Each structure stands twice: as C-alpha cells, then as structure tokens.
C-alpha cells in the first residue's frame, strides 16, 4: 500500500489506550479532491514536519504548520501532533516560536534568508535560542494553541495516551507570555510585530508608510532565492526585500532584543532612532489570532484540570483593547496601528487589508462591529459573494491594489478559512456555506495554489501549497450534506473555544 493510499485508508478499530495507526481517514474515491489534497501533504512531509512547498519554501514555517496540523488531524491525529511538537521543540528560552525552523539537509542557497544570515544560536544566545537547531529570529501569527486544541479534539484518546496537551501547554503558555509582555511595544495591551514577515502578510500596502522610514540594504548584499520559483510580478519587489533585509539585520545585530519598554503613551519609551528607522505595528489579524488562541489555551487548561477562567477573561480584555486601539467605525473594519508613527499613541495606518476583517473570528465582538465587518467584507472593497472569487488580501478599490502581487491583492486560502469560521460563528450560515463552496472549487481548479487572482481564481505563486491542501481537507470534513466527510462536531468547534455567555451588545 503506497503512502497516499494509507492517508485515505479507513480507520481501523482499536481497543484500550494503544496509539492509533500513523494515518487513517474515511475512505475517499481515487482522484477525488480529498485524495489529491492528501497527496499534497504526503509529498510535502519530511518525516517530522510538513514544508509549505518543496521548491519555494523547503523548511518548516510557523503558522503554516499550525494550519497544516488543522488539516492533518483528519488524516492522522498522530502526524498532526508531531507537526506541532516539532515546531515547538525549536522554541526559544524567552518563549518566542521562530517563524522558520531550518532543515539541516537543505542547501544554504535554496532559501534566503538562510541559517547563516539569522545566526540564531549565536546572535540569539541571550534570548535563549536553541543550540541544536537553526531558526530565524522573528515570529509569525500565534495560531498554535487553536491548532493544538483542534488536533486534540480530533482524537482525544490518542492525545491523552501520548500526553500531547500536557507537553505542549507549557510551551504555548510561554509563547503567549512572550507576546503579551515582551511585544506590548505600544503600551496598550496588544502585541506588536517588528518585521513585515511577522504578521505573515509580507508586502501588504499597510506597511508602505512605516517601511518608507527604513533604509534598504544594498541590492548586491543579498541574493533572492524566491525568484527562481515564482514569477517576479507575483513576488515582493527588490526595494521591499532590501527593507526586509535591513530590518532583519538590525534586529539580529541587537541580539533579537525587543523593546524599548515604558508607560503607555509615553513617547520617551521609543527613542528617536526607533521611530526614525524602526518598524513596530499592532496588526489586527495577529492579535485576533492571539485572542482566539488564548481562548483555546483556556479550553486546554480545563482539559488538564484547571478552570481556564483567567485565560477566558484575558481574551475578553484583549478583545476590548483590540476594539479600543484598532477599530475604525468610519471604515467599518479594523486597521493597523503604527506604534512609531506621529502622535503620542502612534497612528492608525490608512491601508485596508484582509487583516482588518479577521477579528470576525472572535466570539466577544460587539454585535454592531460584527455587522459592520460583514457589510465591509461583502461590499465593494472586498467583494465577498460578489465579484471576488475569494476575499482579496487588499481593498479592491484601493490605489495600491495589485491582483497578482503576493499580499497586495491576491486571495489567500488561510484568510478565507478564518473568515468562513468567523461568519459561521456569528450566525452567517448562508455566507459561510457560499465561501466554503468557493474555497473548495478554487482550491481544486488552481491545483492547491499558494494564492489566486481574486477575480478569476487563476493560480498565482507556487502550486501544491501545504496549507491550501490542509484547509481544503478541513472544509471537506465540515461540508454540509457530505456524508463521507462530515463530522457533526466540527462546525461547533470554534464556539467551544470561548465562553459564549458574555454580553455582546
């Protein structure tokens, strides 16, 4: 039996606490969307983790692995647990989960920035970088506790037999502590990102203004490997890349130290050199995923015998801070805050990206904000249910919109998955069902593309992309009326992450 067949083999019965087989799933017809998605994940599997793409992204990426684990749980809860455990094993002593864990067998020139650029074990020594594995020094959105909870729910018996939650909970808690304490650079309770790669939306037009403060690294000082695997018009520009390299170099040369810290609103906490050439932004999607994962940590704590009450309360406080600092009622969506921008509290950035819709994922948003987010998503700027095949990464009507270039307009499958769950959570079942159907059709037709043209669904970036295949599997398993793949509990999973009894008026 080949590995792809194993990935779609029927679950075998087991008795007692013995671990489950490595892979299992309800039978699926050969050549089906389910089988082809499983084949992508099998092709990208390294033995301990899943690469996003064999050519373009040959290492382990942080939020990719979280999304991939969400899909893998339907094929193999054991493999899904291993995916997260491998990533968390590379956690730094200060709690950060690095955005890349490098595979030592991959040649240095296969990806840039490579391990010899980040120099994690040396430059990150004071921050507790691991000695036995090379990583980057920056982070990505904290989806991991949410993924861990969903993976546990896929097979609680296996999870308990392996001690999965007791092993990952302390690491996840340390990860959240790092973000909530070391990254509260604006003093308002939210986590800041210090590099455009950290929110995962690398070249979003939202970053244009703060990036303009950054002097780019000389073009001849680095060699991009991404252009060997993707069309230049799909990728960030050389100028953008020069600024990314400058920021990463400066952060590395500071020993990956975060800060400075001080009282909220006190401009002395941000020295002139940070404001002039630095990058610190409060991103709505990054913080919404932190809040969703804080709710998930509460559920994990309860599973382990604690109450989880304090974590649910912290998640509600963070939701209130998100509304207070990033909600723009005039725009009907959340916006990014430039912590080093003009004014005592920084300033809201003018760009309108899909990041500002992702907080729809949160259960404790006021109902008026939920309604405004749905109207904005379905209006002319994002075209959901209208001209857009999937929700674009940036405002369709914005001057900076580019339907081909990475996060400046193309539609991405992970943000579509997050919005589908948010719509369903808040009772927008018809819109959620339509988005799910569009997601599955587009993933199928594009060959599980990295991202797509928001109008036509034409594939952009690389094909056979890990999280596209994984999240396709997740939506197949929750598809209404699909007797083969429907799991009745899946549709309520997100609601189970939070105390829904609070007042949302």
Annotated catalytic residues are: 202, 450
Please name the residue that has the structure tokens 């999607």: 285
Sign of CA dihedral 227, 231, 235, 236: positive
The Cα 211–Cα 237 span in angstroms is 13
**Distance, CA of 159 to chain centre:** 23
* 429-437: long-range contacts, CB 8 A cutoff, minimum separation 24: 431/374, 431/378, 431/384, 431/385, 433/480, 434/385, 435/384, 435/385, 435/390, 435/391, 436/475, 436/478, 436/479
Contact 114, 67 (CB under 8 A): no
Per-position DSSP letters for 210-251, written without gaps between them: HHTTSPPPPGGG---SGGGTS-GGGS--HHHHHHHHHHHHHH
Q: Which helix (H) or strand (E) holds 333?
A: strand 333-334
DSSP 8-state assignment for residue 50:
B
Tokens of 11: 């679950």
Contact 7, 76 (CB under 8 A): yes
Please name the residue that has the structure tokens 């948010």: 422
Per-position DSSP letters for 411-467, written without gaps between them: EEHHHHHHHHHHHHHTT-HHHHHHHHHHHHHHHHHTTS-SEE-TTT--EES-SS-HH
Burial of 105: CB neighbours in 10 Å, binned 0-12, 13-18, 19+: exposed
Preceding peptide of 53 cis, ω within 30°: no
């Amino acid at each position: 039996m080949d590995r792809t067949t194993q990935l779609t083999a029927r679950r075998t019965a087991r008795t007692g606490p013995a671990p489950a087989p490595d892979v299992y799933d309800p039978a699926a017809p050969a050549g089906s969307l389910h089988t082809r998605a499983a084949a992508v994940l099998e092709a990208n599997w390294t033995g301990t983790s899943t690469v996003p793409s064999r050519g373009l992204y040959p290492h382990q990426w942080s939020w990719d692995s979280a999304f991939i684990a969400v899909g893998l749980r339907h094929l193999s809860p054991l493999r899904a647990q291993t995916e997260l455990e491998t990533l968390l094993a590379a956690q730094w002593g200060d709690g950060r989960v690095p955005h890349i864990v490098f595979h030592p067998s991959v040649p240095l020139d296969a990806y840039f920035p490579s391990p010899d650029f980040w120099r994690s074990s040396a430059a990150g020594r004071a921050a507790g970088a691991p000695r036995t594995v090379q990583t980057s020094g920056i982070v990505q959105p904290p989806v991991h506790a949410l993924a861990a909870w969903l993976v546990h729910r896929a097979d609680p018996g296996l999870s308990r037999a392996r001690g999965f939650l007791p092993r990952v909970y302390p690491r996840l808690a340390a990860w959240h502590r790092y973000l909530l304490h070391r990254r509260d650079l604006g003093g308002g309770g939210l986590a800041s990102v210090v590099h455009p790669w950290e929110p995962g939306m690398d070249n979003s037009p939202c970053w244009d203004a703060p990036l303009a403060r950054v002097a780019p690294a000389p073009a001849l000082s680095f060699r991009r490997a991404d252009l060997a695997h993707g069309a230049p018009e799909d990728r960030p520009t050389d100028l953008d890349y020069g600024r990314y390299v400058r920021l990463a170099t400066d952060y590395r040369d500071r020993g990956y130290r975060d800060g400075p810290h001080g009282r909220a609103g006190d401009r002395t906490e941000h020295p002139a050199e940070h404001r002039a050439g630095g990058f610190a932004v409060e991103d709505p999607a990054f913080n919404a995923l932190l809040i969703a994962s804080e709710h998930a940590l509460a559920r994990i704590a309860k599973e382990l015998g604690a109450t989880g009450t304090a974590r649910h309360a912290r998640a509600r406080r963070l939701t209130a801070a998100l509304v207070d600092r990033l909600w723009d009622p005039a725009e009907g969506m959340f916006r990014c805050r430039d912590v080093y921008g003009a004014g005592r509290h920084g300033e809201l950035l003018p760009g309108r990206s899909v990041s500002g819709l992702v907080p729809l994922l949160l259960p404790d948003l006021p109902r008026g904000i939920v309604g405004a987010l749905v109207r904005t998503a379905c209006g002319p700027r994002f075209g959901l249910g209208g001209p857009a095949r999937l929700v674009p990464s940036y405002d369709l009507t914005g001057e900076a919109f580019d339907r081909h270039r990475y996060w400046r307009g193309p539609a991405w499958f992970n943000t579509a998955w997050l919005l589908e769950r948010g719509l369903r959570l808040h009772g927008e079942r018809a819109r959620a069902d339509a988005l799910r159907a569009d997601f599955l059709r587009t993933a199928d037709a594009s060959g599980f593309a990295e991202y797509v043209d928001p109008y036509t669904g034409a594939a952009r970036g690389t094909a056979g992309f890990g999280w596209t295949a994984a999240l396709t599997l997740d939506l197949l398993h929750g598809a209404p009326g699909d007797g083969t793949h429907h799991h009745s509990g899946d549709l309520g999973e997100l609601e189970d992450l939070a105390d829904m009894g609070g007042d949302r008026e």
